[in-house]
Amino acid sequence: MARPSRVPPGADRRPEERRLIARAQDGDREAFRELVESHRARAYALALRILRSAEDAEEVAQDSFVRVWTALPGFRGESSFGTWLHRIVARRSFDRAQVMKHRRSRERADEHLPEAAAPEPEDEDTLRAAQLQRLVAGLSPAQRQVVTMFYFEGRSVEQVSAVLAMPENTVKTHLLRARAALRAAWPEGAGETS
């Protein structure tokens, strides 16, 4: 006799996904593999936006799916599976970014060594995009998370709030402070075109 699903009917709009979740909660690895396949690209894309390293993004996405597998029996479906997964990937990505930041600061090359020549930039848009990425990387982890989801992924404040389990006003505050920090750090005249 099949046990009743632990996922409430309204938790996810896709009945097939609800069935896969229930099967995976019962230990069905094939059902979990199907869930992974349907969410893999989105999980990787989020990790890549945050980490800006394909290798690190792949590692974080895989680690996130391992964590989802171990936590799946306790998944109550209060949010959609995709939102739950997205939250795990975002948190793992920011944890990884912090670890990498500390590691890079310890491994800095000797200041007396000559710097490698930078490749020639392709155009002004490339320069502006690179500058913006550097400035976003300098934001606090919470601000980076909110900016990534709001601007780069096009999510609404309400969606960002749901994914990050953060009040909407807190999301708005992080966006406001991030915009102010980016505006203050943006080189004068960098956004102008000839």
Domain harbouring 57, CATH code: 1.10.1740.10
Instruction: Determine the residue type at 25.
Output: Q
> 75 and 15, same structural domain?
yes
Residue 154 lies in a domain: yes
Last residue of a domain, one of 47, 79, 111: 79
Q: What is the pLDDT of residue 51?
A: 86
Neighbour count for residue 68 (Cβ, 10 Å):
21
Burial class (CB in 10 A: 0-12, 13-18, 19+), 170: middle
87 inside domain:
no
Q: What DSSP character marks residue 73?
A: G
**Would you state the structure tokens that stand for residue 4, as one six-digit string?**
């009743």
Q: Residue 10 pLDDT > 50, yes or no?
A: no
**Residue 26's domain spans which residues?**
10-79
111 in any annotated domain: no
Q: Both tokens of residue 45?
A: 């894309």
**Which of 61, 79, 97 marks a domain boundary?**
79
* Contact by Cβ (8 Å): 39, 104: no
Q: Is residue 96 part of a domain?
A: no
**42 within a domain of the structure (yes/no):** yes
Number of structural domains, the chain?
2
pLDDT digits (tens, 9 = 90+) for 120-154: 545 677 777 777 778 888 888 888 888 888 887 78
- Classify residue 143: in a domain, yes or no: yes
- The verdict on residue 59 lying in a domain is yes
When the pLDDT of each residue in the chain is averaged and rounded to a whole number, the result is 80
Most confident of 2-11, 30-39, 104-113, 182-191: 30-39
Question: Do 14 and 75 share a domain, yes or no?
Answer: yes
Q: Give the residue with greater pLDDT, 109 vs 69.
A: 69
- The answer to whether the beta carbons of residues 124 and 191 sit under 8 Å apart is no
Query: In this structure, are 75 and 132 located in the same domain?
Result: no
| Predicted local confidence at residue 98, as pLDDT | 81
For residue 119, name the pLDDT band (cuts at 50, 70, 90).
Answer: low
> What letter does residue 111 receive in the DSSP assignment?
T
The reply to whether 107 falls in a domain is no
- Of 149 and 109, the structure prediction assigns the larger pLDDT to 149
